[in-house]
Structure formats: structure tokens, C-alpha cells
């Protein structure tokens, strides 16, 4: 299967989860520049009016089959935080979490124990509540759950790095 169209789309722009369309060049990754049509297509939707799949990034046309599990597992080793995102979705499915999720409480209840360490993260109720603030809610579906967990993990890493720079970590 020829994936050249998908790769071209991926190299042309990156859509940030905030809904803002940003050319990859603006991120300092390369100078490509999106055309006016690209910018219009990626313009943020008004709050509450986004299409159900609007959370998906520019790679959603690349598809996988069950026999591709090993390839996906290899890719998850590159960005271990995504494995935690997948685990959150898996646990939410197992517990039959109902959407929308309006606060961190249902996510805290997914913890397999009071403290869970994975991919360099110490995941506790306190950490969940600290890194998933009110502005990240509601979570309307599994895609947003994975996305918000990833944002929380990035916030956690940023906070840890800032504390280390300030000399607050041992």
C-alpha cells in the first residue's frame, strides 16, 4: 500500500491538541509551510462543536491491523508515555467508565493501587489531581482520555524538570 499521501500530510503540518494549526516550520522542525487551504482545514472549531474524530492528528489515515501489534509495541517503546495512555484507556474500558468524565475522580479509581510507577512516572491520586486540572475536562471519549493523560504526563515531566532546575529535587 502506498502511504505517500499520508507521509506528505504528516510532513506538511502538525495540529496541536489545543486546536491551533501550526506549520511544522513554526515548531523549528523544518521549513515546509502550510497553504491557506491547509490552515483553513485545520482551524479550531468553536467550543463544543468539534467533530467526534477532531482530536485525531494528521496521521489518522495510517491504518493498522491486529497482526501489526508487534510493530505498534515497538513504536510504544520509543515514547513510553504513550504506553501509559493506552493503559488508561484499557483500564477505563475494563471498569466501564462512562463518558463524559467531568473531574479526576473516575481516573483516580482506575489506579491498580494507591501508587503506580511506570515509564518514570510516580502515579498517585495527588499527581493525577495536580496534573489534570479543571481546564482538561470534560473528557468526552477514549481518544480524549488518551490525549489528556498524555498532556498530564508532559505537565508532570515539565514540573519535575523545573523543580530540578530550582534545586528542589535531590
Predicted TM-score (pTM) of the model is 0.66
If one counts every other C-beta atom within 10 angstroms of the C-beta of residue 89, the result is 16
Segment 52-104, tens digit of pLDDT: 677 777 777 889 999 999 999 999 999 999 999 999 999 999 999 999 999 99
CA count, 13 A, side-chain hemisphere, 131: 24
Q: The C-alpha cell of 79 is what?
A: 515514547
Q: Where are the domains of the chain?
A: 4-41, 66-165
Amino acid at each position: 500500500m502506498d502511504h505517500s499521501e499520508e507521509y506528505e500530510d504528516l510532513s506538511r503540518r502538525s495540529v496541536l491538541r489545543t486546536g491551533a494549526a501550526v506549520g511544522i516550520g513554526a515548531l523549528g522542525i523544518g521549513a515546509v509551510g502550510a497553504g491557506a487551504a491547509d490552515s483553513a482545514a485545520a482551524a479550531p472549531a468553536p467550543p463544543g462543536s468539534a467533530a467526534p474524530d477532531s482530536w485525531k492528528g494528521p496521521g489518522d489515515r495510517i491504518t493498522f491491523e491486529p497482526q501489526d501489534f508487534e510493530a505498534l509495541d515497538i513504536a510504544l517503546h520509543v515514547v513510553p508515555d504513550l504506553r501509559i495512555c493506552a493503559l488508561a484507556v484499557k483500564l477505563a474500558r475494563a471498569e466501564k467508565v462512562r463518558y463524559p468524565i467531568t473531574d479526576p475522580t473516575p481516573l483516580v479509581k482506575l489506579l491498580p493501587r494507591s501508587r503506580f510507577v511506570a515509564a518514570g512516572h510516580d502515579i498517585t491520586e495527588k499527581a493525577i489531581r495536580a496534573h489534570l486540572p479543571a481546564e482538561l475536562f470534560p473528557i468526552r471519549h477514549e481518544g480524549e482520555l488518551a490525549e489528556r493523560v498524555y498532556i498530564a504526563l508532559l505537565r508532570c515531566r515539565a514540573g519535575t524538570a523545573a523543580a530540578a532546575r530550582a534545586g528542589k529535587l535531590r
